[in-house]
Amino acid sequence: MAEEGTTRLGTRHSACAAAVVCVLAACVAGARGQPIGDRVIVVTLDGFRWQEMFGGADRELILGRDGGVSDTTVTLSRFHRPTLDAPRRTLMPFVWTVIAANGAIFGDSTEGSVMLVTNGKRFSYPGYNELFTGAADARIDSNDKLPNPNVTVLEWLAAQPGFRGRIEVFGSWDVFPYIFNVARSRLAVNGDGLPFPTPRAQVETALNEMTTWLPTLWQGARLDAPTMAAALHALRVRRPKVLAVLLGETDEWAHGRRYDLYLDAAQRSDHFIEQLWRTAQSLPEYAGRTSLIISTDHGRGASSRDWTDHGREVPAADRIWMAVLGPNRLGEATPRMLAGTQSQFAATIAALVGENWQSARPEAAPPLPGIASIRSR
């Protein structure tokens, strides 16, 4: 999250190309006149590199001095595998067994699918603004706690019929209430401190107590566990139509040059995303009508020296990734290379629930290709 300024991937199995370019089944179903989804789960992994998303753990960073790994033997055994696809499946098993098989993953530069940050800043506040508004804004040039002058797609959705009071945001950073401008938007956004400032049930009180017992490692950012637990509780109990979960540990451990803990945070995030998805599929309000979209606010350096960094002085940090999963399986995918931008995230969120963000913000980037089942208004 702080403003700061290994590529080693070779040719991937042809399945990677297919995964990169899958078009969401939900969107295809909508285009054919079948019902489309009206719920979406949004997850971000702060500063998680495309190199690990598509290549898994980097052996050189595990073993080398620049990775800061405390126990290389344990870390290798947990995360590294010698074959091409195994490292990424080991690190992110849900992403590469479920999303890759049934959805779309964009951003593997080694396969010609490049997802770019367009704001030029390559750090968190500008990145989240671009993700959730669909356009870069030169005025957003720091991580200071300043109310966002731009309306996000979540704020706009909250004013649409059927979405009022049905959107919740849980994050691990105290700047999120400003990014989503809660003073204006009135969105339910939790970004630091206790996950439930006004607990309404015993489980919420217990989650608050757990949060106070966890160590405070970074100023303005908490560990992801309270964020994850609170989001799952909200999904099970309050059942919002849009649930956004913004995780932060991948970025914090990368800045601390702890590659082992960075990998651990990524794998825990994958397990959490799987639990979100499985939970949604177990609830009648969500089963068969929910989409999942995942991305990151910025990339990082591409070498062993600067993998910890991002920002204006780190050009490689402009490359990110995106993943999307819909209610139904597309079937056999057709390999197709394409490029995209971070700014397409916002319109894609809206399209996944049948809404047109560009109708409210024409300068916003369009949805990702294939996300075309937008209800006529």
Instruction: Please state the domain extents for the chain.
Output: 36-359
Which one-letter DSSP state was computed for residue 44? E
Whole-angstrom distance, CA of residue 114 vs CA of residue 344: 13
Q: For position 112, what pLDDT does the model report?
A: 87
Whole-angstrom distance, CA of residue 62 vs CA of residue 188: 39
Q: What angle do the packed helices 202-213 and 224-237 form, to 10 degrees?
A: 170
Report the chain's C-alpha Rg in angstroms.
19
For residue range 254-281, list pLDDT tens digits in order.
999 999 999 999 999 999 999 999 999 9
Cβ neighbours, 10 Å, residue 18 = 18
Q: Which CATH class is domain 36-359?
A: alpha beta
pLDDT band at residue 328 using 50, 70 and 90 as cut-offs: low
Alpha helices in 32-181 (DSSP H): 50-55, 59-63, 72-79, 86-91, 93-94, 100-102, 124-133, 153-158, 176-179
What's the predicted TM-score (pTM) here? 0.90
Sheet holding 188-190: strands in order across?
Answer: 104-106, 322-325, 290-295, 39-45, 242-247, 167-171, 188-190
Q: For position 19, what pLDDT does the model report?
A: 38
For residue range 107-151, list pLDDT tens digits in order.
999 988 999 999 999 999 999 999 999 999 999 999 999 999 999
Q: For position 377, what pLDDT does the model report?
A: 31
| C-alpha 330, offset from chain centre | 22
The C-alpha angle 137, 142, 146, rounded to 5 degrees, equals 85
In 3D, which of 315, 318, 313, 330 has the Cα closest to residue 370? 330
